[in-house]
Structure formats: C-alpha cells, structure tokens
Structure 1
Amino acid sequence: MADTPWLTVIGLGEDGPDGLCKASRDVLESAECIMGAARHLSLLPDVGTERIEWPVPYSDGVDLLMKRRGKPTVVLASGDPFWFGAGSVLAKQLDRSEWRAFSGQSVFSLAAARLGWPLEKTLCLGLHATPLTALRPHLTTGRRIIATLRDGDAVAALGTYLTDAGFGDTPCTVLEALNGPREQTTEAVARDLGNGSFAHPVCIALEIKGDGAVMPLASGRADDWFDSDGQITKQPIRALTLSALAPRPFEHLWDIGGGSGSIGIEWLLTDPTLNATAIEPRADRAVRIRDNADRLGVGRLTVVEGKAPDALRDLTPPDVVFVGGGLSQELITFLETLPKGTRIVANAVTLESEALLTQTHARLGGSLMRIEIANAVPIGPKRGWRASYPITQWSVQL
C-alpha cells in the first residue's frame, strides 16, 4: 500500500487493545515500531515489535519520531489524541499525507458518562499541561468543569488553589484510570482533596461552589483584579479602550507601554483564539505584567521588555495596536509602516501627547475623542465631583 501514511497515531484507553477498533489492532500487529509513554506500552502484549518509550521532555520524543520519518511507526496517545492530546502537536510537524489517526474514547466523554453530565454544557479543560490558574476566569458557582490533571499530586494542589480562591466548598469527583481495571472514583469537597492519595492517569469533575470573587465577563474589570504600581489604564477608560480596539477572533494585539498589562490581559480574556504581546521598558513592570497574566489565567500573553519602537522591529506584525505609554513621533512614524488594515488606538494624557495625536489625526484621519470622567467624593459632610485627568483617544485603521 504505497499510499499508506508512515505514521499512525492511536488513542489507547486504560482497557488496552480490547478497547480498540479492528483497524487499530491490525495496525498495531503489523507495526515496525511503537512509540509511547511507559504506561501505554505496558498495556500492550509483547509480540517482539520494537518499542521506544517516549522521553521527557515531550519535545525530545518528537525529535526521535522525526528521525524515523518515512518508516512505518505507531505512536500511542491517551483516548482522543486531538482533544488536549498529542495528535495535534504531531500533525503540525507533518504533511497531511504522512499521518493518520484512530481515536479512542476521550477522558471527557468517559467522565461525563460516569456522572451523567451533558458534555455540551460542561467546560472541558486540559490542566495536565497548563497552570491551575487557567481555571480563574471560569470560577463561578454553578459551573461544571471536567479537567485532566498532570498527576496524582496535582489533585491536592487543585484543592488548595480552589480553597485559596474562595471556592473550597466545591464538590469534586476524582476519576482515576477511567475504563481500566484500576478505575477508581473518589468524591470530596475541594478543601479536603489533600487528604487523599491519587495515581496517574487522573481527571477531576468540579461543580464550582463558594463565595470567592467571580471575574466579570464584560471588559473593564475592576482595577483591583490587577496588581499595579499606579501605572494602569483605569477601569472606565479601559472599557472604552477595549471597545475601540474591537477584538475579533484570531487577532494579535501589541500593547505598547504595558504598565500592569491590564489592556493585553482583558484583550485575551475576550476570546481564547486571541493573542497579545505587551511591550514594557521597565523590568519591574514587565515582571508584574507576567504575574498578572498568569494569575488571571492568560499565561499566553507574551511580554517583551524594551522601548518602542526599537523593541517592535523584530516582532510578528499585529492586527491591532494599543499605545498606552511611550507615545512619540518616532513611534507614530514606525506604526505607519505596519500592514494596511492594521487598527491603532492611542491614549494620551499629557498636553504634548495630545498635541501629537491631534496633528496625527489631521494627517491620517480616523477618530479623535476626548474622555472626561468625574467621581463623587466627600467634601466635608457633603459630596462633590472630582475630575480625573482627561484622556484623548485617537483611533484609526491604516
């Protein structure tokens, strides 16, 4: 069969070959080499086929596999290789004609079947390869979540995380080795998860419950969600700015003058397909941006320490640019060289920056808006309005 791909990815469950379709079993029996984790390889009978245990880190295994390119090889993955699995990682390395895949039952489907949960209404997360903080935007009473975990120790770590976030009352179902002879189910509330001992492979089902802070869905979250030294686009201005930036799926933002990272972080919270790069000249603020992004569940924010425009020259061109600091004629001149269609939003608070935006608007067009906000504050026994510094906002599409 000259057209048969050299690589076959097979989703293997804890029930081993018994749970595979006939086509998968036939491929395993005729394979020249089988690669997989030690746990997967141990589920197969020894028939003399060459076996290669997948090394750590995972990327080393990809390198080993690529050295076999063109030679018939089977890679074992867990359950459905294309749902938080290895299949998508391998497929990106190869032409479509080089590989095929046979999916097994996903851990999410198996868990939902045990619990009686409608999978289409349940949030499924792969926490085996991402920080537990990826949960943060989803923590609200009533949310159902099924998540894969790195190992047994991660169960206790998750319990501590939920408790610290104010959701220690969350009912949890820990499911070990689903669909295999070692399958075991344990029920507990989050704060008690540290009292048990669990083994890999493991996933957990959560029905979030507690009085912890719930992250709003709308742009313009309260300022206290972000650690800041005062250099932050304040809540109402941030809401107006995100509206002007108008995120669309799959877009990439440059957040120039990141400060606390609030704009880039809120951009990423809008949709999981979005990407963002924050550019910040101060080292302490760059660290703070990374910390804020990780804590709020958007660790995919890229932080570049440097001053614009020099720090921008080697970056992947953006779809959208926000200038919150470091505005200069040199920066404007550089931004004008970006691809046609790029959207730019710039906020200015000083007279000098406002003059620059006014001149640029006259030359390039777009929209120019002045934002003035006042808040009620005590004046003796009564109240009055205290005005914030007015903001001038310029928006344009090149």
Structure 2
Amino acid sequence: MSDRITVVGVGADGWAGLSPRAREELLAADVLMGGSRQLDLVPVSVCTAERVVWPSPLLPALPGLVEANRGRAVCVLASGDPMFHGIGTTLVRLLGAERVRVLPSLSSVSLACARLGWAADRVEVVSLVSRPVEAVHPAVHDGRRVLVLSADGRTPAGVAALLTSRGYGASPMTVLERLGGDDERLVSGTAGGWAVPETAALNVVAVECVAAPGTVPLPCLPGLPDETFEHDGQLTKREVRAVTMSRLAPVPGELLWDVGGGAGSVAIEWMRAHRENRAVAVEKDGGRAERLTRNAHALGVPGLTVVTGAAPGALDGLAVPDAVFVGGGVSAPGVIEACWRALRPGGRLVANAVTVESEVTVAAWHARIGAPHSEMVRLAVSRAAPVGGFTGWRPMMPVTIWTAVKPAEPVEEERR
C-alpha cells in the first residue's frame, strides 16, 4: 500500500460537484480526514471509509495522525483548492511533494471573482484564517479591490470597522456566503454603513476601496510619515529610515532583527515590504515594547515578534537573522559583536550612529571588516520650518549609517 496521501478539494456543492477522479479516490479510501464541515459534504451512504475529524489545534497533532494511518489509503478533504491557503501546503511541507497527491476544486477566490466579474489577477487576496483583522491594512489603497478570506461570520463586521477607522467608510462591501452551494447568498453594503454583526461562517468579503477626501495613504515603499507611528521620540526618522531600509535590502521571506526597536518603525517597514517577511524587535523598555506592538497592529503586520529585554542577552535563542538593524545601544558592550556573530553569511548588518560614542564603535567595526564588505555613509537632513514670518531650514541631527555584509569566510582582521 502506498504511503501517499490524497487531498481532495470539495466545494459547497459537495459530492455533486466532485470530478469522477475525486470520487474514485474517496470511494477507494480507508480513512477520510478533514474538518467536520468538509466531512459532512460527503454522504456516509456513499463513502463508508473511517472518518477522522481534525482535532484542535491541528498542527501539533498532524504528524501523529499521519503516522498512525501509515499503510492505509488516506484521503484528506479540504475546501476548494487545498494549495491556496489550505491543508495541502501544510501536508507537502510535512511529508514532501512526492507523498501528497492533490485534486483541487475551484477556490473561493475563483468563485468570488466569477460572481463579481472581477479579474482575478488584479485582486489583492488576504486570508484572516488564524490571523487578526489588522492583516488587511497593507492591502487597503484607494481604487484597489480586495478579497478577504474570512475566519468566521464575524469577520465582515471586523473588516468594515477597520476600513471605517482608516477613512475608507465609503468602500462598497459584498459578503459572498457559501459560494457554490445551493444556499449561496450575497450581502452588500458599505463599510461605514455595515449593519450585519454576523454572517454565515463560510464567507468571502469583497471590498472596493474608496478613500474619503483627506485620507492619508500608507504607501508600499519604505518611508512612512513619522506621525504614522505612535512614539515618544525614539523613532528612526522618515528620511533616515528610507535610506536605512535600502541598506537592509529586504528580500521576500527573510528575517530581520531590529535591536533597540523603539517605535518599531524599521521592523514594521521591513515586514510591509513583503507579506512573507518576518521580524523580531528587541526593546528593553516595557512601555515602548507595548507601543511597538500597537504600531505593528495598526500598520498591518500583527505577526511582528516583540522581545522585551536588553541586548545582547535578549538575543540568545532567536532564529538566525538574514539582516540586523541596530538603532539603539550601538555602543553598548557586546551588542554589535553578538549581532555579527549571529548573522548568517551573506547577511546585512546596519547600525545607525547619532552620538560620538556610537560613531567610534561603528568606525572601529568598519576598519575591522574593511572593504568591500563594509561601508559608512553620513546623512544630514534639514526640514523646512517657520522662522518668524519666513521659512528656513531646521537641521536634524546627522546620522552615520554603517553597513556590513558578512562574508562566507571570516575577514583577516576577525581571524586575529
């Protein structure tokens, strides 16, 4: 008997909507696994295989379930396309592609776009399954269309409240319930006028984003306005942050350490650069760490990990970073050493120095690492400000930005 698991995508129309091949796999199965809703879509009178309802939480139990049924014909039922935010991707990650056969059905995104007449390739898709509603923030832009995969029947109301708070209350919203089923239903309104506290649990929220006049956009590129962040002055300013991000050079899927997180602006901008990016912000002040967390949620990256503690001790046990930003504590003993030691080969370390003491530290490291792996840039920014009845330039404190790329082999100075 093959150890390969078959994953069958099933729509709200259940058995009637399955392909002949999918039906054959289900009829030949010894075991059917899935959520209770998916299992109920396949009549017991038709498919007599043993049924296993997913436990909660699922992920810790999944390896044991697979191992307990090794040697049996196992069929997993999933909603729509199992490889689109579905159990199929989890099983492939666990078992490898060679042990998983996937028979997809139409995804909820395909069905929603078909009902609405939307081009699927022009729609931003956000899943809120096991994610807070704030994950929608990065997709909200005037004139854009967004499809939200709901966690439950309360998700639409949460999305409406978020849009309204952002200045997008005029945005038309359509909730598509039980797509593909006999009891499919569409509920429409605007975000600001949404009056349905709970819809059917199985739903997709379609939004056409419309910003009210004067609504401040949140751009995709680094350099969000300083006032976007709640802060107490400990903030990497907008112009400096944009240059800093260019030096950190975020790549999809990479992990950043933001050491001395402050308001979290760099870690937040890093995660906003791509939805797969990850970041850990280390901040020793408890009040700032709480503020940083609020900023992460408000700006659409609720997955940012916040560690409250002082570096270098707080860095112990963290996952290996692809990039490190040191915005606070540059001159603190052992901080740069710990960050450089933890950084993977090819990773980038960027440190911003404002004080003479921190400049001494980065200058010493620049000399130690040397070209072509290390460089320093001094950035001086002035902003226009009123001077009596006129306008003059008000200089900000200059910032020295040190950037180093860790070589595959230690440089000569490090070997000594």
TM-score by length of 1: 0.94
Q: Does 1:389 align with 2:370?
A: no
Change (3 A) 1:64 1:194: farther
Q: Deviations over 1:61-95 (max 9, x none)?
A: 52562353413222211000111112112222213
Change (3 A) 1:55 1:333: closer
- Alignment-derived partner of residue 128 in structure 1: 129
Residue among 356, 363, 366 paired with 1:358: 363
- Rounded to whole Å, the distance in 2 between the matches of 1:46 and 1:60 is 28
Change (3 A) 1:199 1:247: same
Deviation at 1:130, TM superposition (A): 1.7
Deviation at 1:340, TM superposition (A): 3.2
- Alignment-derived partner of residue 51 in structure 1: 51
User: AA paired with 2:16?
Assistant: D
User: AA paired with 2:369?
Assistant: L
Q: Deviations over 1:12-34 (max 9, x none)?
A: 10111111111210111121121
Q: Does 1:251 align with 2:254?
A: yes
Change (3 A) 1:146 1:332: closer
Q: Does 1:266 align with 2:269?
A: yes
User: AA paired with 1:194?
Assistant: A
- Rounded to whole Å, the distance in 2 between the matches of 1:339 and 1:179 is 48
User: AA paired with 2:26?
Assistant: L
Q: Is the 8 A contact 2:229 2:295 kept in 1?
A: yes
SS in 2 for 1:303: strand
- Alignment-derived partner of residue 283 in structure 1: 286
Q: What is the aligned length?
A: 396
- Rounded to whole Å, the distance in 1 between the matches of 2:317 and 2:57 is 29
Change (3 A) 1:313 1:231: same
Q: Is the 8 A contact 1:155 1:194 kept in 2?
A: no
Q: Deviations over 1:124-151 (max 9, x none)?
A: 2212332221111221221111221112
- Mean Cα deviation higher: 233-242 or 86-95: 86-95
- Rounded to whole Å, the distance in 1 between the matches of 2:126 and 2:340 is 40
- Rounded to whole Å, the distance in 2 between the matches of 1:274 and 1:173 is 30
- Rounded to whole Å, the distance in 1 between the matches of 2:219 and 2:203 is 30
- Mean Cα deviation higher: 95-104 or 135-144: 95-104
- Alignment-derived partner of residue 34 in structure 1: 32
- Rounded to whole Å, the distance in 1 between the matches of 2:60 and 2:324 is 36
Q: Does 1:62 align with 2:84?
A: no
Q: Does 1:198 align with 2:199?
A: yes
- Alignment-derived partner of residue 345 in structure 1: 350
Q: Is the 8 A contact 1:157 1:194 kept in 2?
A: no
Q: Is the 8 A contact 1:283 1:305 kept in 2?
A: yes
- Mean Cα deviation higher: 268-277 or 372-381: 372-381
- Mean Cα deviation higher: 147-156 or 173-182: 147-156
SS in 2 for 1:193: coil
Question: Any residues of structure 2 matched to 1:77-226 within 5 Å, and which?
Answer: 77-195=78-196, 197-211=198-212, 212-226=215-229
User: AA paired with 1:334?
Assistant: A
User: AA paired with 2:285?
Assistant: R
SS in 1 for 2:345: coil
Question: Any residues of structure 2 matched to 1:287-298 within 5 Å, and which?
Answer: 287-298=290-301
- Alignment-derived partner of residue 334 in structure 2: 330
Structure 1: gaps (5+ residues): none
Residue among 346, 368, 377 paired with 2:385: 377
Q: Is the 8 A contact 2:154 2:197 kept in 1?
A: no
Deviation at 1:304, TM superposition (A): 1.8
User: AA paired with 1:84?
Assistant: H
Alpha-carbon RMSD across the aligned residues, in angstroms, is 1.9
Q: Is the 8 A contact 2:81 2:105 kept in 1?
A: yes
Q: Is the 8 A contact 2:140 2:146 kept in 1?
A: no
- Alignment-derived partner of residue 229 in structure 1: 232
SS in 1 for 2:59: helix
Q: Is the 8 A contact 2:376 2:400 kept in 1?
A: yes
Q: Is the 8 A contact 1:155 1:198 kept in 2?
A: yes
SS in 2 for 1:92: helix
Structure 2: gaps (5+ residues): 407-416
Identity of aligned residues (%): 39
- Rounded to whole Å, the distance in 2 between the matches of 1:294 and 1:184 is 32
User: AA paired with 1:46?
Assistant: V
SS in 1 for 2:267: helix
- Alignment-derived partner of residue 414 in structure 2: none
Hey, which bits of structure 1, 4+ residues long, moved more than 4 A? none
User: AA paired with 1:333?
Assistant: E
User: AA paired with 1:314?
Assistant: G
Q: Is the 8 A contact 1:177 1:183 kept in 2?
A: yes
User: AA paired with 2:79?
Assistant: S
Deviation at 1:104, TM superposition (A): 0.7
- Rounded to whole Å, the distance in 2 between the matches of 1:381 and 1:45 is 80
Q: Is the 8 A contact 1:10 1:24 kept in 2?
A: yes
- Alignment-derived partner of residue 8 in structure 2: 10
- Alignment-derived partner of residue 409 in structure 2: none
- Mean Cα deviation higher: 259-268 or 148-157: 148-157
Deviation at 1:55, TM superposition (A): 2.9
SS in 2 for 1:318: coil
Change (3 A) 1:286 1:127: same
- Rounded to whole Å, the distance in 1 between the matches of 2:274 and 2:232 is 27
- Rounded to whole Å, the distance in 2 between the matches of 1:259 and 1:137 is 22
Change (3 A) 1:82 1:370: same
- Rounded to whole Å, the distance in 2 between the matches of 1:217 and 1:53 is 41
Q: Is the 8 A contact 1:5 1:100 kept in 2?
A: no
Deviation at 1:195, TM superposition (A): 3.4
